[in-house]
């Protein structure tokens, strides 16, 4: 046509096919490397523009690009939008009928496809790899590459077979892309896929417009209401652990006049779909959801994300909070952190039958708890987990804006530990709190515990105070909570020096509500 003779061909395709004027950070280097036949490793947050990194080279290079992707729904979305751009793309998955499959394979053999999206189990199925060796493969892109690693938070066994790709297609450039990988997972991906001298792009994961806040959970629904009062009419997501809880919370919010609805995998498809649509159209302000909500949702003006319960790991937490503020405007992420939630999440993790998986997930849960208990810059901890270091504190998280104070918990810890001992190490948190507070009820009388020296020694402080303290003593290893046995509390060795007065204990002052804070340094 009329194009300038020496215009960069990549920029021409970028403009003509995709309608973009310039590359996003990182894209150009990755695209050039792949076009030149090199491998690439791409770590970029969701929304960073990973797809273009293999879609553009797929058009520039000879042959068909193979894209491995784990979710049929996401593959279909991508193929639809590519077709709208006039790109010859298709997806091959197990839901295709026999006739459709045959037609698709015919197009593949005729060299008519620029991109073919394939589910991993399909790709590796008998015969398909052999078919591919008859055609020209432009490149192989592996999306959600963290699924190959057991260290990743979303391990998929069907990804484990992908290394055969390297053997089958020795000269074909391989691209591994992911939005979530700690340093160990990254090494795992590169090693397992056999990436060689790959062009590596690791984008910053910082989302400076999101303010992170953690409150200690106490009467969480009231905490949520106070938070929402500052976000009237704004769009947001509230994540809760169970389906039942999402319905309860959404119901109460709706009853209090807010435009809120629940979302979880147990609701009828049509209802889930209409809820999602209403949220995208801003006809609904708040979705109260399990983690089932949010995948593939690209809504720019989500102003807040609340975690009503503790997420299982920082990968999920980062992804879920990352749905806030895609438009770059000031947004908030609030986590309600209850010590009781730790035991709950732990018991969910321990349901798995794979001991190695349990070990890894418990390790990840510990990192999540450490983040929630962090007294330094929250963002530094979060990014540090993903292997990224911040030069200075962020100035836009709760601990930066309002540094936590500590209190001397020695005396109260002794009272609580003695009480656990006096009731015979046969009771759980709730009952120990009752005895500390001097409850005069049938159960206490039946056990004759109103005669104990520790009965009522904590009457001057609230039940919330004592249960929070007991949970922290569990978390810090002074008490053992026997989950398999009515969650009974027992003293550990660590408790001795504290009880004997040889050690003291400083704890952070619990933060129950967001205090009025100074303006952030950065916005």
Candidate list 66, 108, 397, 489; residue touching Zn ion; CB under 5 A? 397
Compute the least distance from the CB of residue 175 to ligand ADP, in Å: 12
Report the nearest approach of ligand ADP to the CB of residue 331 (Å).
18
Q: Which stretch binds Zn ion (CB under 5 A): 105-113, 386-394, 428-436, 495-503?
A: 386-394
- 394 lies in the site for Zn ion, by CB under 5 A: yes
DSSP per-residue string spanning 90-103: EEE-TTS-HHHHHH
In the complex, what is the shortest distance from the CB of residue 319 to Zn ion, in angstroms, rounded to a whole number? 20
Pairing label, strands 260-263, 286-289? parallel
CA distances from 79 to 72, 90, 120, 216 (A): 10, 6, 16, 44
**Count of residues that bind Zn ion according to CB under 5 A:** 6
Angle between helices 410-422 and 463-475 (to 10 degrees): 90
Radius of gyration of the chain (CA): 27
| 280 vs 509 by CB, closer to Zn ion | 509
| Residue 394 touches which member of ligand ADP, Zn ion, none, C-beta under 5-8 Å by kind | Zn ion
Closest-CA residue to 28 (of 65, 60, 76): 60
CB of 22 to ligand ADP, least distance (A): 6
Main-chain dihedrals φ then ψ at residue 270, nearest 5 degrees:
-60, -40
**Closest CB to ligand ADP among residues 180, 418:** 180
Rounded CA-CA distance 467/11 in Å is 61
Q: Which of ligand ADP, Zn ion, none does residue 212 bind (CB under 5 to 8 Å by kind)? A: none
Comparison of 75 and 210: residue with beta carbon closer to Zn ion: 210
Which among Zn ion, ligand ADP, none contacts residue 400 (Cβ within 5 to 8 A by kind)?
Zn ion
Between 23 and 239, whose beta carbon lies closer to ligand ADP? 23
Q: Are 299 and 323 in contact (CB under 8 A)?
A: yes
Which of these segments, 89-97, 153-161, 364-372, 392-400, binds Zn ion (CB under 5 A)?
Answer: 392-400
Can you list the pairs that 150-154 forms with residues at least 24 positions away whose Cβ atoms lie under 8 Å?
Answer: 150/188, 150/356, 150/357, 150/360, 151/182, 151/184, 151/185, 151/188, 151/360, 152/178, 152/180, 152/181, 152/185, 152/188, 152/315, 153/180, 153/312, 153/313, 153/315, 153/316, 153/364, 154/180, 154/315
Partner in contact with 377, chosen from ligand ADP, Zn ion, none, beta carbon below 5 to 8 Å by kind: Zn ion
Which entry of Zn ion, ligand ADP, none binds 24, CB below 5 to 8 A by partner kind?
ligand ADP
CA angle, corner 31, sides to 25 and 35, nearest 5?
A: 165
Residue 379's binding partner out of Zn ion, ligand ADP, none, with CB under 5 to 8 Å set by partner kind: Zn ion
How far is 380 from 8, CA to CA, in rounded Å?
40
For residue 379, state whether it binds Zn ion (rule: CB under 5 A): yes
Nearer to ligand ADP, 152 or 262 (CB): 152
**Residue 27 or 316 having the CB closest to ligand ADP:** 27
CB closer to ligand ADP out of 70 and 438: 70
Verify binding: residue 400, Zn ion, rule CB under 5 A.
yes
Least Å distance, CB 27 to ligand ADP, is 6
- The whole-angstrom separation of Cα 102 and Cα 99 is 5
Q: Which residues contribute to the site for ligand ADP (CB under 6 A)?
A: 20, 23-24, 27, 44, 46-52
CB of 51 to ligand ADP, least distance (A): 3
159 binds, among ligand ADP, Zn ion, none (CB under 5 to 8 A by kind): none
Pairing of strands 406-408, 506-508: antiparallel
Sign of the C-alpha dihedral computed for residues 96, 101, 103 and 108 taken in this order: positive
Residue 49 contact partner, candidates ligand ADP, Zn ion, none, CB within 5 to 8 A by sort of partner: ligand ADP
Whole-number Cα distances in Å, 216 to 21, 219, 326, 373, 460:
46, 10, 27, 9, 20
Q: Are 71 and 79 in contact (CB under 8 A)?
A: no
Residue with tokens 């947004």, as numbered in its chain: 331
CB atoms within 10 A of CB 269: 7
Among 377, 469, 505, 514, binds Zn ion (CB under 5 A): 377
Name the minimum Å distance from CB 400 to Zn ion.
3
Instruction: Look at residues 55, 31, 42 and name the one whose alpha carbon lies nearest to residue 201.
Output: 42
- Output 23 or 427, the one with its CB closest to ligand ADP: 23
- Note whether 136 and 95 are within 8 A (CB): no
Q: How far apart are CA 487 and CA 474, in angstroms?
A: 11
Q: Count of CB atoms within 10 A of residue 438's CB?
A: 15
Nearest distance, CB of residue 376 and Zn ion, angstroms: 8
* CB closer to ligand ADP out of 21 and 232: 21
Which of 49, 428 has the CB closer to ligand ADP? 49
The answer to whether 65 and 115 have CB atoms below 8 angstroms apart is yes
x-or-dash pattern for Zn ion, window 169-198, by CB under 5 A?
------------------------------
**Choice between 141 and 469, CB closer to ligand ADP:** 141
46 binds, among ligand ADP, Zn ion, none (CB under 5 to 8 A by kind): ligand ADP
What residues make contact with Zn ion under the rule CB under 5 A? 377, 379, 393-394, 397, 400
């Amino acid at each position: 046509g009329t194009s300038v003779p020496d215009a960069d061909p990549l920029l021409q395709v970028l403009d003509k096919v995709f309608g973009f004027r310039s590359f996003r950070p990182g894209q150009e280097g990755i695209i050039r490397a792949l076009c030149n036949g090199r491998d690439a490793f791409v770590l970029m947050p969701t929304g960073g523009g990973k797809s273009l990194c293999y879609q553009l080279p797929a058009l520039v290079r000879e042959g068909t690009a193979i894209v491995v992707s784990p979710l049929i729904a996401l593959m279909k979305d991508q193929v639809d939008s590519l077709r709208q751009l006039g790109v010859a793309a298709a997806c091959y998955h197990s839901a295709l009928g026999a006739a459709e499959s045959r037609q698709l394979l015919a197009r593949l053999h005729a060299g008519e496809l620029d991109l073919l999206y394939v589910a991993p189990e399909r790709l590796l199925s008998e015969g398909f790899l052999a078919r591919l060796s008859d055609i020209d493969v432009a490149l192989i892109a592996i999306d959600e590459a963290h699924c190959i690693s057991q260290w990743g938070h979303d391990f998929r066994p069907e990804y484990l077979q992908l290394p055969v790709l390297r053997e089958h297609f020795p000269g074909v450039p391989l691209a591994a892309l992911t939005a979530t990988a700690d340093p160990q997972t990254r090494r795992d991906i590169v090693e397992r896929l056999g990436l060689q001298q790959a062009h590596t792009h690791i984008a910053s994961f910082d989302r400076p417009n999101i303010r992170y806040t953690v409150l200690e959970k106490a009467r969480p629904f009231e905490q949520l209401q106070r938070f929402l009062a500052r976000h009237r009419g704004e769009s947001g997501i509230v994540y809760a652990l169970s389906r039942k809880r999402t319905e309860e919370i959404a119901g109460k919010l709706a009853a209090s006049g807010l435009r809120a609805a629940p979302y979880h995998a147990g609701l009828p498809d049509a209802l889930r779909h209409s809820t999602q649509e209403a949220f995208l159209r801003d006809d609904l302000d708040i979705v109260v959801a399990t983690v089932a909500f949010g995948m593939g949702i690209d809504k720019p003006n989500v102003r807040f994300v609340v975690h009503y319960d503790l997420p299982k790991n920082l990968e999920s937490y980062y992804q879920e909070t990352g749905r806030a503020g895609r438009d770059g405007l000031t947004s908030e992420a609030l986590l309600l952190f209850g010590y009781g939630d730790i035991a709950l999440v732990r018991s969910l993790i321990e349901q798995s039958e794979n001991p190695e998986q349990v070990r890894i997930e418990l390790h990840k849960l510990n990192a999540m708890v450490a983040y929630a208990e962090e007294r330094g810059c929250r963002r530094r901890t979060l990014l540090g987990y993903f292997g990224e270091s911040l030069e200075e504190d962020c100035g836009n998280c709760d601990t930066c804006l309002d540094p936590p104070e500590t209190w001397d918990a020695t005396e109260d810890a002794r009272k609580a530990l003695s009480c656990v001992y006096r009731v015979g190490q046969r009771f759980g948190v709730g009952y120990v709190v009752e005895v500390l507070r001097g409850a005069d009820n049938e159960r206490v009388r039946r056990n004759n515990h109103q005669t104990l020296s520790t009965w009522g020694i904590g009457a001057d402080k609230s039940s919330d105070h004592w249960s929070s303290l007991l949970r922290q003593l569990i978390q810090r290893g002074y008490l053992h909570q026997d989950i398999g046995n009515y969650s009974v509390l027992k003293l550990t060795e660590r408790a001795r020096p504290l009880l004997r007065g040889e050690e003291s204990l400083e704890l952070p002052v619990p933060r129950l509500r967001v205090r009025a804070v100074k303006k952030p340094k950065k916005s």
